[in-house]
Amino acid sequence: MQTEARVGVGGGFAAENGARKYTAAAEERPRRPQQQQQQHMGAMSNLLAGGVAGAVSKTCTAPLARLTILFQVQGMHSDVATLRKASMWREASRIVCEEGVRAFWKGNLVTIAHRLPYSSISFFAYEHYKNLLQLVPGLDRHKDYVSADICLRLLGGGLAGITAASITYPLDLVRTRLAAQTNQIYYRGISHSLQSICRDEGTRGLYKGLGATLLGVGPNIAISFSAYETLRSRWQLERPHDSPVLVSLVCGSLSGIASSTVTFPLDLVRRRMQLEGAGGRARVYNTGLFGTFGHIIRCEGFRGLYRGILPEYYKVVPGVGIVFMTYEILKSCLSASTATD
């Protein structure tokens, strides 16, 4: 599409060189099926590399992710005195002593099962929404205006994130409940969790906290994109000879920290709403999304909205590095194998 757009813009040059344009077009026609196949294989390589990179990153950072979840849900059934004694190292020691080292990876299987379809749906939906949005007046000239191009990417990314999150949300809920289990085991695995939730809470129970998730998807992508692009362009302007890998790694980590800081309260509320009624426990929040925010601030203070933010920060930096490294390695390997075929 980009090549075709550039040809269209260069109409004056083509008019002056009509014979050359005709010859080039004639030479291109036989190659189009092969080019389309290469583009298709390239898209599949990106899709597979992205999915595997996400799964590897989630597995490596699973201990920090579980600590984040445990801190986020502490305020649901704990008093203020207990919350003041909580610390990341004390909680990690408790997990090792009471549940064993393997407990750090509780719910990781369902995380991987969630990540692969989530990445696939996001990739497909993003391209689909971009094509649809290009029909909107103003966005159809996104190649000519930077603001229109940014708007197209933000809207496409936000809609793709909302679509993927909605479809794969039950797996995200199951992952939270498995990771939040400590000494009392309510759910024995993915299938048992799904069956138990449907039996005890109905099908709607699989979508508890979806509203907070959808509210957080758009801002998260927008903040990540804006922060990453701003930091990267500023860095490259002042230090143009630095390694692109280093620039992407640092700017990606900082953008992840920025987006996590802004959207963390929504993520915390989502986790708590996901655990409502788990294992037959009494409901804590009965007033919806905004009522849950008010309840947390009233009972735990404003700091309660950021309970678990420290392990989240520790998770962001290595997570981005692992994703970037794995993605590039797999993409190179898959591209090389495609070229030899």
Q: Which of 115, 165, 159, 118 is nearest to 322 (CA)?
A: 115
Q: Which amino acid is at 57?
A: S
Tokens coding 126 = 């993003």
Q: Which two tokens stand for residue 38?
A: 């290469």
Tell me what pLDDT residue 17 has.
43
Classify residue 314 by its DSSP letter: H
How do the pLDDT tens digits run along the chain, 341 residues long? 333 333 333 333 333 344 444 344 444 444 455 555 455 545 666 667 777 877 888 888 889 988 888 888 877 755 555 555 667 888 888 888 888 898 898 888 888 888 888 877 877 787 788 888 888 776 666 566 666 777 777 788 788 888 888 999 999 999 888 888 877 778 888 899 999 999 988 898 899 889 888 888 778 877 777 787 788 888 988 888 888 778 877 888 888 888 889 999 999 998 888 888 776 666 777 777 888 888 889 888 888 899 889 999 988 878 877 776 677 677 778 777 766 66
Distance CA(251)–CA(134), nearest Å, equals: 29
Joined together, the tokens standing for residue 2 give: 């980009």
Longest dimension (CA), the chain: 83
Q: Give the integer Cα–Cα distance in Å for 274 and 153.
A: 30
Of 220, 222, 224, the closest CA to residue 251 belongs to 224
The predicted model scores a pTM of: 0.69
Left if phi > 0, otherwise alpha if psi is -120 to 50, otherwise beta: which for 107? left
Spatial separation of the C-alpha atoms in residues 47 and 56, rounded to whole Å: 14
CB 166 within 8 A of CB 214: yes
Q: State the DSSP string of 27-63.
A: HHGGGHHHHHHHHHHHHHHHHHHHHHHHHHHHHHTHH
Q: Tell me, what's the pLDDT at 284?
A: 73
CA distance 126 to 135: 15
Q: Report d(CA 193, CA 187) in Å as an integer.
A: 5
In the chain, where the domains are located: 39-75+86-179+186-340
Architecture of domain 39-75+86-179+186-340 in this structure: Alpha/alpha barrel (1.50)
